[in-house]
Chains A and B, each alone.
Chain A
């Protein structure tokens, strides 16, 4: 049963439970889900080899006739698409959480140096050990992100001015990427070719298993986020307000950051360091629904997923047979966006 008034919409699935939503937010959510689905279908169709709509329809309808075209789509494109959507959503959520914690619209895993930290740990892992399995690289990535987050937090814990946090993050990221560059250029590693591609964020070597893992991880993190959104929301108004609303702000700040770390670490281990998604997605989302609650997180996740999906699809289609890594595309758009949006920083 829905009751509409001017702006709000209250969904009451049953007596006693009601979920208030801004009408606008609801519309936007619906629209984005539609866009995502359409993008999903288009990405199935687009690629270096042309397939027909009938084939796409067959794959979606699970009608696995398994001719060449459908297996192309299923084996080669589907993992990438699933991976891109999950990675985009996770990175966007991570960005949103970091922005809530830092109270600054410029916070993002890439900007704060977290993805550089993860990348460095993975590189060190490849240098040190001969056989690198999936689990070890994910563990290394977690380690890298955690340590970097700790370092950045230590620098800024006395002064939580937004610009300062971002600058410290950039500086820390610069240090870490300088070390990565030095390491890469002076040591000959066996999987060097793979590492170079990996560092700029590529969905090429993603297989169905890893992609499924990412999707499941995404579902997990989203559920945790939604369940605890009641506590995260007040933090948007700042430390004092949150305390006055009865929320133990400090504890939840730490929790938010931990959640953000958990969201992004597997992505970097599997796909490489892609940054900026959180930045762009959250900025766009804010401009669309103009509100800073949990819905913003959901909207930015959808936007992040759509963006990353298109970055990967365009990267493998535009210049075929030359493949451009998705990460490079996103970094490009991200940096541009970053520049355009700085004029809006003050309104934050």
Chain B
């Protein structure tokens, strides 16, 4: 059947004993609660301590003369919204990628897609004097190029048919390294020009990103919608290509569309907040604890978990060494890469893939 690789199997087995429908509802409830908690904490954290009374007043009775209200509504709230939205996008992209490739190790960062988006954006800034706000199109092109590169490399490597699953991640890492070194090279040519983008390069959420989000959200909704519609076809494809074809699914078209949407979502996130990695990797695994990956429940859950996870990372980044602030991309990379390592270890130990 479908592979169910995840964290220690005892935990998932005990959760699986609960009836499916209750499980899903329970998960939604639990996660929404956690999301609310994280959201509230997120809004209350900041350099300036704001009393809860003020926060409530700001949300429900906004007074433009009071600067504190401006802080809550124009700075903290947008930040939260951006974190949740981008997290959701990354979560869904990761979920679809893992479902399509039937590989628990893929995500937009491990496929090298984000690095490609970054490099092409830098090229656009340097060679074509594109402003830092309009980098979506080069980011998308870069994401697509990098992704296709990874896939063709995997094709070449797969001819040996040994450890297929590891090959695609290896190819992704190489492509990622290639584009990172290209980016470093570009930045050395004119350090002054790139002085502003240093933080964006690491992946950073700031209130200003909200303006970008408010321009891009139609595109994001489109991509999300399309991905959800592909859910059915992807389910059938889990059984295998031949079976899917005989069941009437247009495998090539589904693949192309899903890939396109994954690239779209990844490049959207990169152009808004920068390359934040590993969220797409971790989210599907958590979602698989609650529901199977068949059907769209997993997709919705992934978006919820993604938003939760990114907001949580942002929260951590702000609290851990207060009053100094860490950058979200760094936090998610650190935690995510450790998670990736453990995943690799468990996978090979349980002899799932190699």
A-side interface residues toward B, CB under 8 Å?
106, 155, 158-159, 161, 163-164, 166-168, 170-172, 174-175, 178-179, 181-182, 185-186, 200, 319, 322-325, 328-329, 331-332, 334-336, 338-339, 342-343, 345-346
| Per-residue contact bits, chain B 323-354, to A (CB 8 Å; 1 contact, 0 not) | 01111001101100110110011001100001
Number of residues of chain B lying within 8 A (CB) of chain A: 48
Smallest CB gap from B329: residue in A: A181
| Per-residue contact bits, chain B 179-216, to A (CB 8 Å; 1 contact, 0 not) | 11110110011100000001100100000000000000
- B177: CB under 8 A from chain A? yes
B-side interface residues toward A, CB under 8 Å?
149, 153, 156-157, 159-160, 162-163, 166-167, 169-171, 173-175, 177-182, 184-185, 188-190, 198-199, 202, 321, 324-327, 330-331, 333-334, 337-338, 340-341, 344-345, 348-349, 354
Contacts of B166 in A (CB 8 A): 163-164, 167
Q: In the bound complex, do residue A328 and residue B181 qualify as a contact, i.e. CB atoms below 8 Å apart?
A: yes
Contacts of A338 in B (CB 8 A): 174, 177-178
Q: In the bound complex, do residue B188 and residue A167 qualify as a contact, i.e. CB atoms below 8 Å apart?
A: no
Q: How far is the CA of A336 from the CA of B173 in the complex (A)?
A: 12
Pick the 5 closest A-B CB pairs, nearest first: A335-B178, A331-B181, A182-B330, A178-B333, A346-B160
Q: In the bound complex, do residue A167 and residue B178 qualify as a contact, i.e. CB atoms below 8 Å apart?
A: no
Smallest CB gap from B155: residue in A: A343
Q: How far is the CA of A322 from the CA of B193 in the complex (A)?
A: 14
Q: In the bound complex, do residue B170 and residue A163 qualify as a contact, i.e. CB atoms below 8 Å apart?
A: yes
Smallest CB gap from B187: residue in A: A328
Q: How far is the CB of B298 from chain A (nearest CB, A)?
A: 25
Q: How far is the CA of A185 from the CA of B321 in the complex (A)?
A: 13
Q: In the bound complex, do residue B188 and residue A159 qualify as a contact, i.e. CB atoms below 8 Å apart?
A: no
Contacts of B182 in A (CB 8 A): 332, 335
Q: How far is the CB of B183 from chain A (nearest CB, A)?
A: 10
Q: In the bound complex, do residue B327 and residue A171 qualify as a contact, i.e. CB atoms below 8 Å apart?
A: no
Return the contact of A155 from the options B159, B198, B345, B354 (Cβ within 8 A). B345
Q: In the bound complex, do residue A322 and residue B330 qualify as a contact, i.e. CB atoms below 8 Å apart?
A: no
Contacts of A328 in B (CB 8 A): 181, 184-185, 188
Smallest CB gap from B152: residue in A: A339
Q: In the bound complex, do residue B181 and residue A332 qualify as a contact, i.e. CB atoms below 8 Å apart?
A: yes
Contacts of A346 in B (CB 8 A): 157, 159-160, 162
Contacts of B167 in A (CB 8 A): 163
Given A319-B189, A343-B157: A178 touches B175 (CB 8 Å cut-off): no
Return the contact of A345 from the options B160, B177, B326 (Cβ within 8 A). B160
Q: In the bound complex, do residue B181 and residue A174 qualify as a contact, i.e. CB atoms below 8 Å apart?
A: no
Given A164-B348, A179-B334, A186-B326: A322 touches B189 (CB 8 Å cut-off): yes
Chain A-chain B contacts (Cβ-Cβ < 8 Å), number:
128
Q: In the bound complex, do residue B181 and residue A168 qualify as a contact, i.e. CB atoms below 8 Å apart?
A: no
Q: How far is the CA of A158 from the CA of B351 in the complex (A)?
A: 11
Q: In the bound complex, do residue A168 and residue B174 qualify as a contact, i.e. CB atoms below 8 Å apart?
A: no
Q: In the bound complex, do residue B162 and residue A174 qualify as a contact, i.e. CB atoms below 8 Å apart?
A: no
Contacts of B344 in A (CB 8 A): 155, 164, 167-168, 171
Q: In the bound complex, do residue B157 and residue A185 qualify as a contact, i.e. CB atoms below 8 Å apart?
A: no
Smallest CB gap from B159: residue in A: A346
Contacts of B170 in A (CB 8 A): 106, 163, 166-167, 170, 342
A-B contact pairs, 22 of them (CB 8 A): A159-B349, A161-B348, A163-B167, A164-B344, A164-B354, A171-B337, A171-B340, A171-B344, A174-B173, A178-B333, A182-B334, A185-B327, A185-B330, A319-B189, A324-B189, A328-B181, A331-B180, A334-B177, A335-B177, A336-B178, A342-B170, A342-B174
Q: How far is the CB of B105 from chain A (nearest CB, A)?
A: 9
Given A324-B185, A332-B182, A345-B157: A182 touches B331 (CB 8 Å cut-off): yes
Contacts of B330 in A (CB 8 A): 178, 181-182, 185-186
Q: How far is the CB of B134 from chain A (nearest CB, A)?
A: 25
Q: In the bound complex, do residue A175 and residue B159 qualify as a contact, i.e. CB atoms below 8 Å apart?
A: no
Smallest CB gap from A315: residue in B: B188
Q: How far is the CA of A254 from the CA of B190 in the complex (A)?
A: 45
Q: How far is the CA of A167 from the CA of B337 in the complex (A)?
A: 12
Contacts of B327 in A (CB 8 A): 182, 185-186
Smallest CB gap from A344: residue in B: B156
Smallest CB gap from A110: residue in B: B177
Q: How far is the CB of B283 from chain A (nearest CB, A)?
A: 18
Q: In the bound complex, do residue A171 and residue B354 qualify as a contact, i.e. CB atoms below 8 Å apart?
A: no
Q: In the bound complex, do residue B174 and residue A332 qualify as a contact, i.e. CB atoms below 8 Å apart?
A: no
Contacts of A335 in B (CB 8 A): 174, 177-179, 181-182
Q: In the bound complex, do residue B185 and residue A332 qualify as a contact, i.e. CB atoms below 8 Å apart?
A: yes
Q: How far is the CA of A175 from the CA of B321 in the complex (A)?
A: 19
Q: In the bound complex, do residue A167 and residue B184 qualify as a contact, i.e. CB atoms below 8 Å apart?
A: no
Not counting A171-B344, A325-B188, A335-B179, a sample of 20 additional A-B residue pairs whose C-beta atoms are within 8 angstroms of each other reads: A158-B349, A161-B163, A161-B348, A161-B354, A164-B166, A164-B354, A168-B345, A171-B341, A172-B341, A175-B337, A175-B341, A178-B334, A179-B334, A185-B326, A323-B188, A335-B174, A338-B177, A343-B157, A346-B159, A346-B160
Q: How far is the CB of A144 from chain B (nearest CB, A)?
A: 17
